[in-house]
Amino acid sequence: MNILRWWWGLLLAFALVAIGRAFLPLPFANEVLIFSIYTMGCNYLLGRVGFISFGQPAYLATGAYGAGFYLFYFGNNPYLGLLMGIAAGIVVSLIIGPLFVRLRGDYFALVNLALAVIIFYLMQKVLADITHGDNGLWYLTSLTSTPILDLTRPDQFFIFAFLVAFALWAFYKYLDDSIFGALCLATKINEDKVKFLGYSSFSIRLFAFVIANTTTALAGAMYAVYLGFVSPAITGPDRAADPVVVTILGGVGTLYGPLVGSVVYTGMKDVLSKIIGNWELVIGFLLVFIMLAGEKGIWGSLAPLLQKLFTRDGKAPDRGGSR
C-alpha cells in the first residue's frame, strides 16, 4: 500500500493529462507537455537549489540546436536527434556550470540571461552560415519515420512526450526523496551548515545545475523534433522569463507546479490572446498578485484544499499529492 500511496498523486495527475488528450486539441496538449518539461528544470533550480535563472532559453536553445544540427546535417532519425540534444545539454552545462554556480543568487540570474542573449546572437548572426540566421533550419520533411513510436506524427509524438514527462516526474520525485535532494534543499537554506557537515556545496550545486539544465535541453530537443525546425527565436530575450513565470504560476518547488503552470500559461496564451489580444496584462498582474498573496502559486494554494477534501480529518499522507 505504501508504494501505491507514493505513486497515486503522480498517476492521478498523468491520468488527467491522458484524459485531457481526448478533449484538448493535439498541438495544445503537446505544447503543454513540452513546456512542462521545460519548466521542470527551472522549477528544480528555483525551488530546491534557490537559483533563479532568467536564462533558461539558453539551455533550451542548446538542446534544440544540438538536435537541429544533427537532423539537418548528419542524420534523419529523430531519436538520435533527441540524444544529440541531451548530449549537447550535458556538455554545455558541464562547461558553464563550474563558472556560474559560484555566483551569488542575483548575479546568477543576470549572468544566465546574458548567456541566453549571447547564444541568441551567436545563432542569429555570428554562425549565420551554419544556422541560416533568422530563417532557421528546416528538416521536417526529411525526418524518417521510426518503428513503434513514430515521432513525425503528432499523435504518436504525444504518447512519447507523455512517457518522457512521466519518467522525468518520477525521476524528480525520486530525487526529492533522496539524500541528494535533501542536500540541495539544505544548501538553499544554509550553505555554511552543509559545508560543516562535510559536503561540498559546490559539487551539489553543480550536479543540480547539470541535471536541471539537461532536462531543459531535452525539452529543447523535443521542440526541435516536434516543430521540425529550429530558429534563434527560441532563445529570444523577450521569452527569457517564460519558465520563471510558469514556475511561479504553478507554485515554486512543488512537484505538480510545472504541469499546472504550463496548462494555465499555455491555455491563457491561446485563449486570452484570441479574446482580448494582450494576455501579458493578465499574466503580469497575476504574477504580482501571486507574489503578494504569499508566492504559493496555483498548485501551492490548491494542494492543501485538495488534501482536506480527499483525506479524513485533514491529515495529509506526507508522500501523497501534497508536494
Partner 1 sequence: MNTQLLISGIIFGLSLGGIFFLMSIGLSLCFGLMRIISLDQLLYYSVGAYLTYTIGLLVGDVWLGVIGGVVVAAIVSLLVERVVFRRIYERDLPFTMITSFGVLVGGVGVIKYFWGLIPRPVPVPIAAQVDIIGTDIPVYRLVIIGVAVLVYLGIWLFLNRTIIGKAIRAGTEDCEHVEGLGINVYRLFTITFIIAGGLSGLAGGLYAPLIMVDPQMGLEVLAFIFMVVIIGGLGSIKGTLISSLLVGQVVSLGSLIYAPLAQMAPFAVMLLILLVKPTGLFGSALQKR
Contacts (CB under 8 A) with partner 1, residues 223-252:
237-238, 240-241, 244-245, 248
Contacts (CB under 8 A) with partner 1, residues 289-318:
291-292, 295
| Nearest-approach distance from CB 150 to partner 1, in angstroms | 38
| Nearest-approach distance from CB 283 to partner 1, in angstroms | 6
Cα-Cα-Cα-Cα torsion 265, 267, 269, 275, nearest 10 degrees, comes to -140
Spatial separation of the C-alpha atoms in residues 62 and 262, rounded to whole Å: 21
Contact segment (CB under 8 A) with partner 1 among 19-27, 106-114, 178-186, 220-228 equals 106-114
Q: How many residues interact with partner 1 (rule CB under 8 A)?
A: 44
Contact segment (CB under 8 A) with partner 1 among 17-25, 214-222, 258-266, 281-289 equals 281-289
What cell numbers appear for 171 in the block?
Answer: 525521476
What cell numbers appear for 29 in the block?
Answer: 496538449
User: Residue 182 or residue 282: which is nearer to partner 1 going by CB?
Assistant: 282
The answer to the question of residue 122 lying near partner 1 (CB under 8 A) is: yes
Contact segment (CB under 8 A) with partner 1 among 3-11, 12-20, 108-116, 218-226 equals 108-116
Asked if 86 and 218 count as a contact pair (C-beta separation under 8 A), the reply is yes
Residues in Cβ contact with 278 at an 8 Å cutoff, skipping those fewer than 6 apart: none
| Nearest-approach distance from CB 105 to partner 1, in angstroms | 6
Contact segment (CB under 8 A) with partner 1 among 64-72, 114-122, 159-167, 206-214 equals 114-122
Element containing residue 230 per DSSP (H, E): strand 229-230
Cα-based distances in Å from 89 to 98, 199, 216, 230: 15, 26, 8, 16
Spatial separation of the C-alpha atoms in residues 49 and 185, rounded to whole Å: 6
- Rule CB under 8 A: choose which of 20, 25, 27, 284 binds partner 1: 284
Which DSSP state fits 133? G
The answer to the question of residue 94 lying near partner 1 (CB under 8 A) is: no
The answer to the question of residue 52 lying near partner 1 (CB under 8 A) is: yes
The answer to the question of residue 105 lying near partner 1 (CB under 8 A) is: yes
The answer to the question of residue 117 lying near partner 1 (CB under 8 A) is: yes
Closest by Cα among 308, 300, 267, 282 to 20: 267
Residue 233: exposed, middle, or buried by beta-carbon count in 10 A (0-12, 13-18, 19+)? middle
- Map residue 75 onto helix, strand or coil: coil
User: Residue 13 or residue 46: which is nearer to partner 1 going by CB?
Assistant: 46
User: Residue 87 or residue 233: which is nearer to partner 1 going by CB?
Assistant: 233
The answer to the question of residue 194 lying near partner 1 (CB under 8 A) is: no
Q: How far does the chain reach from its first CA to its final CA, in angstroms?
A: 19
Spatial separation of the C-alpha atoms in residues 236 and 239, rounded to whole Å: 6
| Nearest-approach distance from CB 293 to partner 1, in angstroms | 10
The answer to the question of residue 130 lying near partner 1 (CB under 8 A) is: no
Contact segment (CB under 8 A) with partner 1 among 27-35, 81-89, 122-130, 257-265 equals 122-130
Residues in Cβ contact with 314 at an 8 Å cutoff, skipping those fewer than 6 apart: 307, 308
Which residues are near partner 1 by CB under 8 A?
46, 50, 52, 99, 102-107, 109-111, 113-115, 117-118, 121-122, 125-126, 237-238, 240-241, 244-245, 248, 277-288, 291-292, 295
